[in-house]
Amino acid sequence: MLKNYFKIAFRNLTKNKTFSFINVSGLTLGFSCFILISLFVLDELSFDRFHKDVDDTYRIVQTITEASGDTRNVATIAPTIGPNAKDQFPEIVNQTRLLQIGRLTVGNDPLKRDYEQIWIAGPDFFEFFDFKFLYGNPSTSLTGPNNLVITESTALKYFGKKDVLGESLYTNRFEATITGVIKDFPPNSHINMETIHTIETWAPLFDEGRWFTSNWTSNSIITYLKTAPDFKKNDLESKITDLVISNYSDEIEYSSSFWLQPLKDIHLQSAGIDGGLNANQGSNLYLYMFAIIGVLVLVIACFNYMNLSTAAASKRTKEVGMRKTLGAGKSQLIMQYLGESIILSLVSLIIAITAVEFLLPYINNISGKALALPFDSIPLLTILLSVVLLSGILSALYPAIFLSKINPSKAFKTDIKLGSSGFSLKKVLVVAQFAISIGMIAATIIIYQQLNYINSKELGFSVDNKLVIDINSGPLRAQFESIKQEFEKLDAVKSVSVSSRVPGEWKVFPIANLETFENDNRSQSIFIGADEDFISTYDIQILEGRNLRNDPADSSSVLISKQAVAELGLTNPVGQRININGTVWNGDLDDGDGYAPTIVGVVDNFHFESLHKSQKPVMIASYRNPIHNIDYYTLNIETNDWQKTIADLQAINYQFDPQNPVEYTFLDNRFEELYRADKMRGQLFLIFSGIVIFIACMGLFALASFTIESRIKEIGIRKVLGASVKDIVVMVCKDFVLLVAFGFVVATPIAWFGIEKWLTDFAYRININLSFFLLAGVIAIAIALITVSYHALKSAWINPVKTLRSE
Amino acid sequence: MIQAKNLKKVYSTEEVETTALNNVNIEIKEGEFVAIMGPSGCGKSTLLNIMGLLDNPSDGEYHFLGHDVSNRTERERAQLRKGNIGFIFQSFNLIDELTVFENVELPLLYLGMSADERKEKAEAALERMSMMHRRNHFPQQLSGGQQQRVAIARAVVANAKLILADEPTGNLDSDHGNEVMKVLAELNEQGTTIVMVTHSPHDADFAMRVIHLFDGHVVTENMQEGFHV
């Protein structure tokens, strides 16, 4: 019997090639998307869960209330809080701290040196977290001066081997001894570092280490806690807040509170938390969106299959009638149908898994993840097999029940109509499919328009052909005038400027609190120290007054942007002195930083950051300013041979600083990088809307075939009565266009709301109007028409004699 | 009105060639009422389809209203069909989703008539078939005889000169069948040419002339008693 079912199933599949192809490819597509998205979602949800105490581990976050009343969350807190809290509150079982303080040049081979971030961790760090040690002792490796723990790929990078325990490694500050080699941090860890230093190594920089036990005010160190199982979170949070208040100087008004962020939430729920460490930060919003898309694609594919098999079922009434006449029971027939459907699902799943295996390297490449299909993972296999069963059953249940109910005497007639109740379900489904398609097409159009807008928006300066070189060492900073001259001697170099910061969100920039002597207005401006070539190198417009001069006599001159002038309400800015009343660094006020420069010129506004953020006022001070030293060269380059130019620059760099390699970045790449996530989202939307509309079209194709099949006689009658091919095609297509149009009505408000929400993330954005959605609707209708017209034309061309033959 | 010379119709599939009509010669004059009889598969319906311009013959000549229509395109045949030929089927072939009135109105719609004109004509046709009181019903709500009367109303609504009826009483009991035949006879008296395929000798009695087909050939043509052309 089973063999007979298989035979029939196989023959049916090969007989209706179009149906089978659409069935299998639709389900395969659905499964592939589902598997990929499941892997992605599971990976996002797996962040940091490999630590055995993940449920008891928290990060302390500080909420600061600004003078303006706004609040900010910061994951870097004062270094004393963690250890003191642990000593005083028994519910804290353990604590550890991490501090990032800049970069080092590393490498025993002078020609293969590179820069590495300096991460300082408490001695207990590797006992606190469960990172895997390859060599060395986790409990002692982070003690003692100049000892260093590195990852295996860092070991390979500088030594060419992994077992480097006890070997020494050159850095430009000290000779390090490797006391531990750990496995690379897993891709699903929010912590990711290359070199981990001991507190002792850097103690001299921190008041001989006293800073770590005495500072209650800075925002600098990341602190993790492990708590006892029965602790009260709210209580501990207020106890920590009270502890910090009691240790605060009475002179400063206290305006912070502390709370505990679960370790497992750090990856996905850290939007709006500054500072701290969060490698490959995720977003709950996108996670949910992808999960929904994944399920939708699969459901849409299943319903398609249902549509298609229902349409095909009307052709199988004779087979079913004969089986019944020969004694097949209702349940046998249902089982046969479900069996066929599950076989088909299984085939699709196997193809999908193969496809996913092929696609994964490509997807890992784009997403920066290390997704893999774990064939030994029982949960995954269970999910996949249940999905196969579920989709197989779901897809075939309706046609199976319908067919099994057929009265054998009627089954031999060819014109049995399938139940009309299922028909309206199909309509609802098509509307939903096209609503989703239209929403996604509209989202894709708008995302691309917005990216286009950003790319073409005037930043107020030029990013093209700019090479930015980091100043990473004393020699490069001290001898910058000579280095500049050497750079300028190169043919390719058109101009060179030095500045404390360059546009493009590289590092935190100081915000200067500006006050006038004329009125009470204040302005918080980005503060840049620069030489006189900054303006010409970046092509920034001077609107009033003059440029800065490199002359020491000009050291207290500044340029301010039009926006700063407006915020300060200055009527005649040029020649006026203004006061800098302290600077803010990453939210930390440094009230000692200040002087009273003279405005010598006003520059046009320009965007220092990505267009996600609104334009801020800018002050460009002389590089001799007392607040911020120079940190970058910017070179305006015109060359056809970048390789040679960079080699030349490298040579000049080594001439002045043989210890440290040159570190350069193309400014336009840097700006592109700021929109990389947006671009990726745009591409993903393009792909998914393509898939969704493709699957929706298959559904429509099925529905068209189904509907037209049931109306074939009516079409025949109409033709006999004089309807032309055009009349028939219009009549048939009208209904489907109506469904799509209804989808448009459903999609527009929802998509509008969603896209509007996405756009609020940009300070500079296009405005949405109905035309984007109309365009999406027209595209969807056009695609739908093309899909339906195949069946419509086919039916309209049929000679009615064939469809009206009575018996 | 209709002249068919050496009509031949061959249906071919990949393997089998079936000759449905073989050298059929028929002439039908305006105002005639002709019945075509013969066993199943003798080619009656094929002949009717060719007469109704629904199909082209494989060979031979076919003239309708003086036009040679042996090898016209579908569009040309449709043009000539519209308004000139009305069809009546055994299974009525009314559109279930349309009301009685809408079904009758349909041919006029495809003739491009205005709504007012359509209303007037469709109502007149329904009146003629005594179906006005059922104008807003759907076909499923009517008896078989009533459905066939609606179908006849639809066939005559555009003042067709020729009505082709394919076993018009085949799905009806004898009372309703008789009723339908009387209506057809009345139409014929009023000048409409009628060609009817039938199995029923009783129905054939209403015709002036009976053509017997067998295996695609015309076997006999009998003038019914009392009829003279």
Summarised one tens digit per residue, pLDDT across range A312-341 is: 776 677 777 777 777 777 777 788 788 888
What band does A805 get if pLDDT is binned at 50, 70 and 90?
Answer: low
Cβ of A714 under 8 Å from any chain B Cβ?
yes
pLDDT at residue B102 above 80? yes
Instruction: Say what angle helices A284-313 and A420-456 make with each other, to 10 degrees.
Output: 140
CA distance A478 to A627: 17
pLDDT at residue A181 above 90? yes
Which helix or strand (DSSP H or E) is residue A259 part of? strand A256-262
Q: Nearest chain B residue to A803 by CA: give it.
A: B93
Contact assignment for A727 to B110 by CB distance below 8 Å: yes
Question: CB contacts < 8 Å between A and B, how many?
Answer: 51
Residue from A717, A718, A724, A798 to probe the interface with B (highest B Cβ count within 10 Å): A717
Supply A400's token pair: 């199976």
Summarised one tens digit per residue, pLDDT across range A367-400 is: 777 788 887 777 778 888 888 888 888 778 877 7
Q: What does the pLDDT read at residue A276?
A: 78
CA distance B107 to B82: 8
Mean pLDDT for A238-260 is: 86
Summarised one tens digit per residue, pLDDT across range B165-218 is: 988 988 888 888 898 899 899 999 999 999 999 988 899 999 999 999 888 888
Mean pLDDT for A205-230 is: 90
Mean pLDDT for B210-228 is: 78
pLDDT at residue A614 above 90? no
The contacts of residue B53 (CB under 8 Å, 6+ apart) are B64, B69, B72, B77, B78, B80, B81, B85
* Tokens 């040309």 belong to residue: B76
Q: What does the pLDDT read at residue A251?
A: 66
Residue, of A12 and A762, whose pLDDT is higher? A762
Chain B residues in contact with A801 by the CB 8 A cut-off are 49, 54-55
C-alpha distance from B228 to closest chain A C-alpha (Å): 32
Contact assignment for B54 to A799 by CB distance below 8 Å: yes
Mean pLDDT for A700-710 is: 77
pLDDT at residue A421 above 50? no
Q: Nearest chain B residue to A728 by CA: give it.
A: B110
The contacts of residue B34 (CB under 8 Å, 6+ apart) are B28, B194, B195, B196, B207, B208, B209, B210, B211
Strands A92-106 and B193-197, bridge-based pairing: unpaired
Q: In chain A, what are the domain boundaries? A: 2-43+285-454+676-804, 54-266, 466-671
Residues 518-577 of A with CB under 8 A from B: none
Residue, of A158 and A611, whose pLDDT is higher? A158
pLDDT at residue A135 above 90? yes
Rg from Cα positions in chain B: 17
Cβ(A664)–Cβ(A646) under 8 Å?
Answer: yes
The percent of residues above 90 in pLDDT, for chain B, comes to: 30
The percent of residues above 70 in pLDDT, for chain A, comes to: 96
* Tokens 């930390």 belong to residue: A588
What band does A279 get if pLDDT is binned at 50, 70 and 90?
Answer: confident
Q: State which amino acid sits at residue A210.
A: R
Q: What does the pLDDT read at residue A807?
A: 41
Q: What does the pLDDT read at residue A119?
A: 95
C-alpha distance from A799 to closest chain B C-alpha (Å): 7
Q: What does the pLDDT read at residue A419?
A: 47
What band does A691 get if pLDDT is binned at 50, 70 and 90?
Answer: confident
Cβ of B147 under 8 Å from any chain A Cβ?
no
CA distance A650 to A661: 7
Mean pLDDT score across all residues of chain A: 85
Cβ of B169 under 8 Å from any chain A Cβ?
no
Which among A270, A177, A230 is positioned nearest to A56, based on CA atoms?
Answer: A230
The DSSP line for B23-51 is: EEEEEE-TT-EEEEE-STTSSHHHHHHHH
Cβ of B54 under 8 Å from any chain A Cβ?
yes
Identify which of A717, A722, A801 has the shortest CB distance to residue B93: A717
Residues 727-786 of A with CB under 8 A from B: 727
Contact assignment for B111 to A721 by CB distance below 8 Å: no
Strands A522-530 and A511-516, bridge-based pairing: antiparallel
CA distance A807 to B194: 23
Rg from Cα positions in chain A: 34
Least confident residue range of A268-272, A313-317, A480-484, B122-126: A313-317
Cβ(A333)–Cβ(A403) under 8 Å?
Answer: yes
Q: Nearest chain B residue to A726 by CA: give it.
A: B75
Chain B residues in contact with A806 by the CB 8 A cut-off are 89-91, 166-167, 170
The percent of residues above 90 in pLDDT, for chain A, comes to: 34
Chain B residues in contact with A724 by the CB 8 A cut-off are 75, 78, 110
Establish whether this prediction's ipTM goes over 0.85: no
Phi, psi dihedral angles at A297 (to 5 degrees): -60, -40
Mean pLDDT for A217-238 is: 92
Q: What does the pLDDT read at residue A179?
A: 95
Cβ of A712 under 8 Å from any chain B Cβ?
no
pLDDT at residue A167 above 60? yes
Q: State which amino acid sits at residue A484.
A: K
Q: What does the pLDDT read at residue A603?
A: 95
Contact assignment for B111 to A804 by CB distance below 8 Å: no
Strands B59-64 and A598-603, bridge-based pairing: unpaired
Q: What does the pLDDT read at residue A420?
A: 47
CA distance A310 to A475: 78
Contact assignment for A724 to B107 by CB distance below 8 Å: no
Q: Nearest chain B residue to A725 by CA: give it.
A: B75
Contact assignment for B93 to A804 by CB distance below 8 Å: yes
What band does B95 get if pLDDT is binned at 50, 70 and 90?
Answer: confident
CA A726 to chain centre: 49
Torsion angle in degrees (nearest 10) through CA of A19, A22, A23, A25: 150
Q: What does the pLDDT read at residue A424?
A: 64
**Whole-number Cα distances in Å, A386 to A29, A380, A394:** 17, 10, 12
Summarised one tens digit per residue, pLDDT across range A550-565 is: 999 999 999 999 999 9
CA distance A48 to A279: 11
Cβ of A721 under 8 Å from any chain B Cβ?
yes
Collapsed DSSP state (helix, strand, coil) of residue A101:
strand
Cβ of A720 under 8 Å from any chain B Cβ?
yes
Q: Nearest chain B residue to A719 by CA: give it.
A: B78
Cβ of B93 under 8 Å from any chain A Cβ?
yes
Cβ of B91 under 8 Å from any chain A Cβ?
yes
Identify which of B78, B97, B154 has the shortest CB distance to residue A724: B78
Q: What does the pLDDT read at residue A422?
A: 46
Vertex A438 angle, CA A761 and A36, to 5°: 75
Cβ(B122)–Cβ(B105) under 8 Å?
Answer: yes
pLDDT at residue A235 above 70? yes
Q: What does the pLDDT read at residue A408?
A: 67
Alpha helices (H) in A314-419, listed in sequence order: 317-325, 330-367, 378-405, 408-411
DSSP lists the bridge partners of residue A201 as none
pLDDT at residue A500 above 80? yes
Cβ of B102 under 8 Å from any chain A Cβ?
no
CA distance A796 to A716: 8
